[in-house]
Amino acid sequence: MPSKELRIGIVGYGFMGRTHTNGYKRANDFFDLEYRPVLKAACGRSEDKTKAFADQWGYESVETDWQKLIERDDIDAIDICTPNDTHHDIAIAAAKAGKMVLCEKPLARTVAEAQEMVDVINETGVKNTCWYNYRRVPAVTLAKKIIDTGKLGRIFHFRGQFLQDWTIDANLPQGGAALWRLDVAAAGSGVTGDLLAHNIDTAMWLNGAITRVTARTETFIKERTHQLTGEKQAVGIDDACIFICDFENGSLGNFESTRYARGHKALDTFEINGEHASIRWDLHDLNRFEFFDHSDESTVRGWRSIHVTDGDMPYMDKWWVPGLCIGYEHTFVHQVADFLKDLETGAVTQPDFNNALQTQKVCEAVLESGKDGQWHDTGVTL
């Protein structure tokens, strides 16, 4: 039985507010942990909406100002589930108040913001993590384990994609509730910070540092009405981004993301090609990865489709029986469970803020290159 409480104050009750809360509620049902999250308070600007969320999901109380939430003595950890322009101020205030900080990705809008967050985390020493949840898809975690054995041999290529199609309509407004991702002031960037950040985090986790990049970005719809002001305004985000890069290990990378790929909703993929073997994965079929091993006998050699549901595969001993799938929401349960286990052991939960800062550096180098067409060093240190 868990004997220790981790009292959560969550800011934001939208998409991520729900996924994280589901993680807090489920983790102890499936994982054997000393700590148990307690849903102390939910914070949002609208009292009615925050109260409705708190009632539905089981939070004990409500705040309408995140500063008040941070001042409370009965909160141990602040979970930031708000748009990107709020991450910096909330995280820094929370860390200065001695709270643990769990922050959604991207860590911030810019490297400057992210670096300030890391500096305060380092000064205060509070426990922290950034929710790059795709690391905790069991198939992706297993790919990491296989790559780390060296089984693939020398790595030549890494490619990643994140394709969507929800902003093709030129009449879609920008800004405000549900559409803050289109407003550069709130989001910091378009697909680069929102989608490619996931690919970059996965890529550097699996294949090491990205050292330099060159990119092409495009904004297809140049003006949109702002939802809050009703004014037509220039669109400041990148609607699409393609970049190529060098990894520190000598391999080449290419990445593509867009919200204009008609038919694609969340096609997040990666493929890694080594001297001896290759692995590829696709979020739309997240319980599987494909594996090609050149050392197989030639007559039966081919891409194997591996169903990652057996008990000796990452996280899967905690769920059902071999052959039965889990889904997207489980990645957040896993991140909560790992965070709680690391509280017990004192281990650093990855990605921590410093690691998420490295992804931010790649994003910024990509965006800079999108502007000037030049190669940019990333300055990543892993």
Ligand X SMILES: NC(=O)c1ccc[n+]([C@@H]2O[C@H](COP(=O)([O-])OP(=O)(O)OC[C@H]3O[C@@H](n4cnc5c(N)ncnc54)[C@H](O)[C@@H]3O)[C@@H](O)[C@H]2O)c1
> Tell me, what amino acid is at 35?
Y
86 touches ligand X (CB under 6 A): yes
- Window of 81-89, 108-116, 294-302, 303-311 that interacts with ligand X by CB under 6 A: 81-89
104 touches ligand X (CB under 6 A): yes
Q: Which is nearer to ligand X, 8 or 155 (CB)?
A: 8
The CB-nearest residue to ligand X is 14
The CA distance from 360 to 192, in Å, is 10
Q: Taking CB under 6 A as the criterion, which residues in 341-380 touch ligand X?
A: none
Q: Which is nearer to ligand X, 45 or 276 (CB)?
A: 45
Contacts of 308 (CB under 8 A, 6+ apart): 138, 139, 142, 287, 288, 289, 314, 316
196 touches ligand X (CB under 6 A): no
Judged by CB under 6 A, which of 33, 81, 94, 333 binds ligand X?
Answer: 81
Tell me whether the omega of the peptide bond preceding residue 2 falls within 30 degrees of 0, making it cis: no
Three-state helix/strand/coil letters over the chain: CCCEEEEEEEECCCHHHHHHHHHHHHHHHHCCCCEEEEEEEEECCCHHHHHHHHHHHCCCEEECCHHHHHHCCCCCEEEECCCHHHHHHHHHHHHHCCCEEEECCCCCCCHHHHHHHHHHHHHHCCCEEECCHHHHCHHHHHHHHHHHCCCCCCEEEEEEEEECCCCCCCCCCECCCCCHHHCHHHHCCCHHHHHHHHHHHHHHHHHCCEEEEEEEEECCCCEEEECCCCCEEECCCCCEEEEEEEECCCCEEEEEEECCCCCCCCEEEEEEEECCEEEEEEHHHCCEEEEEECCCCHHHCCCEEEECCCCCCCCHHHCCCCCCCCCCHHHHHHHHHHHHHHHHHCCCCCCCHHHHHHHHHHHHHHHHHHHHCCCEECCCCC
Question: Could you tell me the smallest distance in angstroms from the CB atom of residue 64 to ligand X?
Answer: 8
Question: Could you tell me the smallest distance in angstroms from the CB atom of residue 193 to ligand X?
Answer: 7
66 touches ligand X (CB under 6 A): yes
Q: Which is nearer to ligand X, 251 or 349 (CB)?
A: 349
Judged by CB under 6 A, which of 21, 82, 258, 287 binds ligand X?
Answer: 82
Question: Could you tell me the smallest distance in angstroms from the CB atom of residue 131 to ligand X?
Answer: 5
Question: Could you tell me the smallest distance in angstroms from the CB atom of residue 43 to ligand X?
Answer: 6
202 touches ligand X (CB under 6 A): no
43 touches ligand X (CB under 6 A): yes
328 touches ligand X (CB under 6 A): no
Q: How far is CA 305 from the centre of its chain?
A: 25
- Window of 76-84, 140-148, 231-239, 242-250 that interacts with ligand X by CB under 6 A: 76-84
Judged by CB under 6 A, which of 9, 23, 37, 83 binds ligand X?
Answer: 83
23 touches ligand X (CB under 6 A): no
The CA distance from 365 to 381, in Å, is 14
Question: Could you tell me the smallest distance in angstroms from the CB atom of residue 175 to ligand X?
Answer: 11
Q: Which is nearer to ligand X, 76 or 104 (CB)?
A: 104
Task: Please say whether the beta carbons of 192 and 286 come within 8 A.
Answer: no
274 touches ligand X (CB under 6 A): no
Q: Which is nearer to ligand X, 144 or 151 (CB)?
A: 144
79 touches ligand X (CB under 6 A): no
Q: Which is nearer to ligand X, 137 or 272 (CB)?
A: 137
93 touches ligand X (CB under 6 A): no
- Window of 15-23, 153-161, 164-172, 339-347 that interacts with ligand X by CB under 6 A: 15-23
Structure tokens at 165: 């199609």
Beta bridge partners of 291: 279, 304
Q: Which is nearer to ligand X, 229 or 249 (CB)?
A: 229
Q: How many residues form the binding site for ligand X (CB under 6 A)?
A: 22
Question: Could you tell me the smallest distance in angstroms from the CB atom of residue 76 to ligand X?
Answer: 19
Q: Taking CB under 6 A as the criterion, which residues in 129-188 touch ligand X?
A: 131, 133, 178
Which residues of this chain interact with ligand X, rule CB under 6 A? 11-17, 43-45, 66, 81-84, 86, 104-105, 131, 133, 178, 194
